[in-house]
Amino acid sequence: VKLIQSACSCFRMAVWDLSVTVEDLGADAPPVTLSVTSDLHVGGVILKLVQKTREFDWSDHALWWEQKQKWLLRTAWALEKYGIHADARLVFMPQHKPLKLGLPNGKTVQLRASFSSPVFQTVIGICRMLNIRHPEELSLLRPVEEKRKKKDKDITEELYDLTGVPLSSVSRPSMYNGMPAHFVDSAEMEAVYKMLSVTQPPPAPEVVAKQYRPASVVDKAHINGRWLDSSRSLLQQGIQENDRLWLRFKYHAFYDIEPKYDVVRLTQLYEQARWAILLEDIDCTEEEMMLFGALQYHISKVAQSEPQLLASTAAMDDLESALQSLEVKLEGESSSASEMLDNMTAPELNDYLKIFRPKRLTLKGYKLYWVKFQDTSISYFKSKEESFGEPIQQINLKGCEVAPDVNIAANKFLIRLLIPSPEGMNEVYLRCEDEEQYAQWMAACRLASKGKSLADSSYQSEIQSISSFLAMQKTKSGSHGKTPAADESINTHSLVSPRYHKKYKAKQLTPRILDAYQNVSLLTLTDAIMRFLQIWQSLPDFGLAYVVVRFKGSRKDEVLGIAPNKLIRIDLGVGDVVKTWRYNNMKQWNVNWDIKQMAIEFEGNINIAFSCVTAECRIVHEFIGGYIFMSTRNRENSNTLNEELFHKLTGGHEAL
């Protein structure tokens, strides 16, 4: 008021016409014309505008200056201060608009995101709505165009609609049962939450094959050119209502993962990692691929059988969990007597099996014996009748390696044992008659190799997982070329990258995945997901974002790899790491926006400078600053995000 008064008294400002397009009146509606003076503040303009138009909820609306690509968010600023004159084309529109957001799990949600705040804040809002903690690790990028062919069946895409979520609940979400309250409103909303928090079943191999796969480091580098600028708003970056963007974990420095609170975060992180593996976004060895495959299989199986697991553990508050664990304890105590009895009457397996010892130089081949499995040892006898006497041999399986050799079509159910002894490893093959027998004995062998006896509680589940894996192979071989049989079945090709589709047939792949599977088959869902993420994170190339650059003084393109803790310089030709610089030795970095060059100074007078080829300088700049920001997070302030610091470290270019 004071300001206006003083302004009024000083100048008699001329009145001029300002035309404002009101988006909500429709595209064809003519702009509304207002009479204003230059000292009128933006708030005043909005007030006049609202008075001139119909009743409406304008609370989310703001003015956008089209020519300057700029929001007029400071309502106390006078038009003059913004430099707005009669030729300005202003648009009055909601700040939150629907956006189609591709999630790491491949699903698309439609939600209302802020088009006016810096993307950094927009992402915070989105993550709040989706219930993802540590939004600073995520960002938005423009999607890779999908292959043309797909156009015809575009319509089939499923959209999870979150546009109905009131903005108020986003700014201050209340939690109910561990999920934001807005997900409890209706069955549809609950379904959305389930999509967010439960891992997706393995994709069909064709789907994987159809996806865009970067073939080289340069391809991977191109993807990084798509990240949006965190310090500017969506609208400023040309994103329109209902446009499609991807939400991804950008900074691979995952802070403080807590399965109890991070259900959605963990699930989406897992999905992003899984796709990175399947699409060979990150390289791994064949052994690692098999382990990833086994974990995917396990995760999808567990997630299907108990889809509420993650959600329910999250929903449990402290008291509840305490009570529950107490219950378990009591139960355990009361049952300990019967448990001990069970232990005492140590279960055994007794049956006729064919045994073969390849090491022996005999040509005898398989011979039928009465075999007894007790504790962690197998003993075999000539016949059942002689089983009271001394066994021909007793073999302790503790510490041994167990490998399956199964071909259902050929009715071959072989257990290959590699049994350690002081002299080396001894090979022993056990040949079973059928699936059922095989599952029982295989499970026993596996447990024994880990030093567990048949009495172990995991025995039954081990048998089950073996049978289900067998069943999977069965449907596979049975449904050659036909449409997939039971929905239970998973094509092992779904679990590995397309490279292995060519290299191995599904039935060749199954035993290898099964082999890796035995080490993870008893993990809980959360543990399995965590394991997957850990293995992913320990891959040598984990977290590397590539950018093709040209170093000062160099005549060829090279690749800069930006890792969470360092920069690496990679020779494009050989693929070798030429040089490594760590952030903690970094003294300062500068961006010359004019010549699009970045200069970095490290301790010890090391200076490097490069221009960026496949991405803008600001992207490299933001990556580096972002990672430095991530490293400043700590326990004390883990709940508050120092947004200012983030922009300080990553922004700066718009000032120029």
Q: For residue 507, which amino acid is it? A: K
Strand blocks (E) in 471-596: 545-551, 558-562, 566-570, 577-582, 586-592
Residue among 83 and 358 whose Cβ is closer to another protein: 358
- Tell whether residue 575 is a contact of another protein (CB under 8 A): yes
Give 122's DSSP letter: H
Choices 82-90, 119-127, 239-247, 348-356 (CB under 8 A): range interacting with another protein = 348-356
Choices 45-53, 54-62, 420-428, 487-495 (CB under 8 A): range interacting with another protein = 420-428
The residue among 213, 143, 222 whose CA lies nearest residue 613 is: 222
Choose, by CB under 8 A, the member of 533, 600, 609, 649 that binds another protein: 533
Strand blocks (E) in 408-553: 412-421, 424-432, 545-551
Choices 23-31, 38-46, 396-404, 621-629 (CB under 8 A): range interacting with another protein = 396-404
- Tell whether residue 320 is a contact of another protein (CB under 8 A): no
- Tell whether residue 361 is a contact of another protein (CB under 8 A): no
SS (H, E, C) 271-304: HHHHHHHHCCCCCCCHHHHHHHHHHHHHHHHHHH
Residue among 30 and 540 whose Cβ is closer to another protein: 540
DSSP-derived secondary structure for 601-655: EETTTEEEEEEESSS-HHHHHHHHHHHHHHHT--GGGTTS--HHHHHHHH--GGG
Choices 131-139, 223-231, 383-391, 403-411 (CB under 8 A): range interacting with another protein = 383-391
- Tell whether residue 5 is a contact of another protein (CB under 8 A): no
Touching another protein, residues 505-524 (CB under 8 A): 519
- Tell whether residue 287 is a contact of another protein (CB under 8 A): yes
Give 114's DSSP letter: E
413 in Cβ contact with 433 (< 8 Å): yes
Alpha-carbon distance 131 to 182, whole Å? 11
- Tell whether residue 291 is a contact of another protein (CB under 8 A): yes
**Minimum distance of another protein from residue 348's CB (angstroms):** 5
Measured over all CA atoms, what is the biggest interatomic distance in the chain, rounded to whole angstroms? 117
**Minimum distance of another protein from residue 163's CB (angstroms):** 34
**Minimum distance of another protein from residue 427's CB (angstroms):** 11
The residue among 209, 452, 270, 199 whose CA lies nearest residue 343 is: 452
Residue among 161 and 333 whose Cβ is closer to another protein: 333
Q: For residue 375, which amino acid is it? A: D
- Tell whether residue 601 is a contact of another protein (CB under 8 A): no
- Tell whether residue 636 is a contact of another protein (CB under 8 A): no
The residue among 34, 27, 28, 38 whose CA lies nearest residue 4 is: 38
- Tell whether residue 332 is a contact of another protein (CB under 8 A): no
Residue among 84 and 276 whose Cβ is closer to another protein: 276
Choose, by CB under 8 A, the member of 189, 277, 539, 567 that binds another protein: 539
Alpha-carbon distance 157 to 144, whole Å? 16
**Minimum distance of another protein from residue 534's CB (angstroms):** 4
Contacts 24+ apart (CB under 8 A), 182-189: 182/129, 183/131, 188/161, 189/162
Residue among 140 and 522 whose Cβ is closer to another protein: 522
Residue among 45 and 539 whose Cβ is closer to another protein: 539
- Tell whether residue 634 is a contact of another protein (CB under 8 A): no
Choices 312-320, 415-423, 466-474, 521-529 (CB under 8 A): range interacting with another protein = 415-423
Distance, first Cα to last Cα, the chain: 33
Choices 111-119, 134-142, 299-307, 573-581 (CB under 8 A): range interacting with another protein = 573-581
- Tell whether residue 425 is a contact of another protein (CB under 8 A): yes
Residue among 305 and 394 whose Cβ is closer to another protein: 394
- Tell whether residue 281 is a contact of another protein (CB under 8 A): no
- Tell whether residue 578 is a contact of another protein (CB under 8 A): no
- Tell whether residue 386 is a contact of another protein (CB under 8 A): no
Give 418's DSSP letter: E
DSSP-derived secondary structure for 171-204: HSPPEETTEEGGGSSSHHHHHHHHHHHSPPPPPP
Alpha-carbon distance 402 to 400, whole Å? 6
Residue among 223 and 529 whose Cβ is closer to another protein: 529
Strand blocks (E) in 309-397: 348-356, 367-374, 377-381, 393-396
Cβ burial, residue 644 (10 Å; 0-12/13-18/19+): exposed
- Tell whether residue 257 is a contact of another protein (CB under 8 A): yes
- Taking each helix axis as running N to C, give the angle between helix 286-305 and helix 459-478, from 0 to 180 degrees, rounded to the nearest 10: 110
**Minimum distance of another protein from residue 619's CB (angstroms):** 24
**Minimum distance of another protein from residue 512's CB (angstroms):** 12
Residue among 383 and 590 whose Cβ is closer to another protein: 383
> Rule CB under 8 A: which residues touch another protein?
254, 257, 280, 283-289, 291, 336-338, 340-350, 375, 379, 384, 387-388, 390-391, 393-396, 399, 401, 420-425, 499, 519, 530, 533-535, 537-541, 565, 575-576, 580, 582, 584-585
